[in-house]
Amino acid sequence: MTESANNDSEPEDGAGATLLSRWLVRIPEVFAEWTGDILPRLGAASLPRLGREYFLIKTGRIEAVRHSEAGMFVSWNIPVEHSWPCCPQGMDGFIEKAAQAVWRKFGPRNPQAILTGSLDPGSPNKYYRSLASNLRGRTLQLFPPLRAREVEEQDPAAETLFCLVGSEGLFSGMQSPKESNGFYPGGTKFIAHDAAKTISRAGAKIAEALHYLRLYRPALPQGSHWLELGASPGGMTSELLAREYRVTAVDRAPLDKRLDRQPGLTFVRADAATFQPKQGMCYDALLSDLNGDARESMRLVIRLSKHLNAGGIVVFTLKTPGVEAVSGVIELVQDVVTAAAGAGLQLIAKTHLTYNRQEFTLFFERH
């Protein structure tokens, strides 16, 4: 591999300006029509698009990008510390050449794990998914035994070597899963949804959300009590029960009959707007996937959050019906987060999950 494949950053200019480093960021395809507005708001120079959802950007401070108003539209990122622009499918010996180069570049830094993915994971062409898997296998042979051989074993705060491949070439960088905003290459864990076996796709959404939350805190222990608002038909309820949590599910509509007499489930057929827990009742977590205006949904959450134990969490789906611009989404999120903070709910994180449409999942903790 030539030196040109290792274009890590732009040189400092004569005035001592900040180095501009290259970053690979992922903006979900559901926001494709807004990327022309999102990218300038990140305050970074935009480079070519890769695949359907990835963009190369140049910035001196990635923290400024992450914490910018539009940063929530970036679902995942890595520093591009090593790249090889090429067409792997038409190249002999790509895997061996790429693995050797990655070993030379990152071996001395002792990553906790090596994870590879495709720049276009949704493509029906499985070539690059297979290539990513084979590249990881060969790279693991070159590195000494790693602390985390599997994704689930990673420390959220330790550095992982992430590599993505596609028709545009290879892009690699080291960063902690927490900084990248996901344990997996490209983001959060994809949870397969089998319509014939599961109650609704919402079950996959909460499963993904709980996996993401492990970036910030350990999983709630079995037996923890969840209050779920807008539970019908019960996709999320079913997923929580499968983890041996207790669930009080509230909705005006009935739950799927498959949940009848499920251990740990209390169903209250009522409007979440008027539901009132029994005196002295406390919960460990609150889940809101309510449709409608997000500000109104947060008002309901705030009222019921008084029944959360200290340190209890809120998983809140922020819906954006009728919002047709980036500025509108930003304003909506700011209003919801400000209202929550005033009620003692501190924002832990906000992100766009694989199963989110034009909506975001926000995580709060009660003080």
Cα 68–73–78 angle (5° rounding)? 80
Q: What letter represents residue 354's amino acid?
A: T
Tell me the CA end-to-end span of the chain in Å, nearest whole number.
53
What 8-state DSSP symbol labels residue 278? P
What 8-state DSSP symbol labels residue 187? B
Determine what percent of the chain is predicted with pLDDT higher than 90: 82
CB neighbour list of residue 34: distance below 8 Å, 6 or more residues apart: 73, 325, 326
Nearest Cα to 7, choosing from 68, 83, 58, 66?
Answer: 83
Mean pLDDT of 5-16: 40
Mean pLDDT of 120-145: 94
pTM of the predicted model, to two decimals? 0.92
Mean of all residue pLDDT scores within the chain: 92
Mean pLDDT of 163-186: 97
CA distance 296 to 338: 13
In 3-state terms, what secondary structure has residue 103?
helix
Q: Is the peptide bond before 233 cis (omega within 30 degrees of 0)?
A: yes
Report DSSP letters for 221-248, one per residue.
PTT-EEEEES-TT-HHHHHHHHTT-EEE
With cut-offs at 50, 70 and 90, classify the pLDDT of residue 4: very low
Mean pLDDT of 36-65: 90
Q: Which of 157-161, 193-197, 290-294 bottoms out in mean pLDDT, i.e. has the lowest?
A: 193-197
Nearest Cα to 220, choosing from 345, 344, 312?
Answer: 312
Q: Could you report the per-residue pLDDT of 283-323, keeping only the tens digit for each? A: 999 999 999 999 999 999 999 999 999 999 999 999 999 99
The CB-based long-range contact list for 306-310 (8 Å cut-off, 24+ gap) reads 307/227, 307/277, 307/281, 307/282, 307/283, 308/282, 308/283, 308/284, 308/366, 309/282, 309/283, 309/284, 309/366, 310/366, 310/367
| Per-residue pLDDT at 47 | 81
In 3-state terms, what secondary structure has residue 27?
coil
User: Is 70 exceeded by the pLDDT of residue 14?
Assistant: no
* Side-chain half-sphere exposure of 65, counting CA atoms within 13 A: 33
Domains in the chain: ranges and CATH? 3-180 (3.30.2130), 202-366 (3.40.50.150)
* Residue with the two structure tokens 């992982």: 160
User: Is 90 exceeded by the pLDDT of residue 80?
Assistant: yes
Nearest Cα to 61, choosing from 71, 49, 72?
Answer: 71
Q: Could you report the per-residue pLDDT of 230-257, keeping only the tens digit for each? A: 999 999 999 999 999 999 999 999 999 9
Determine what percent of the chain is predicted with pLDDT higher than 70: 94
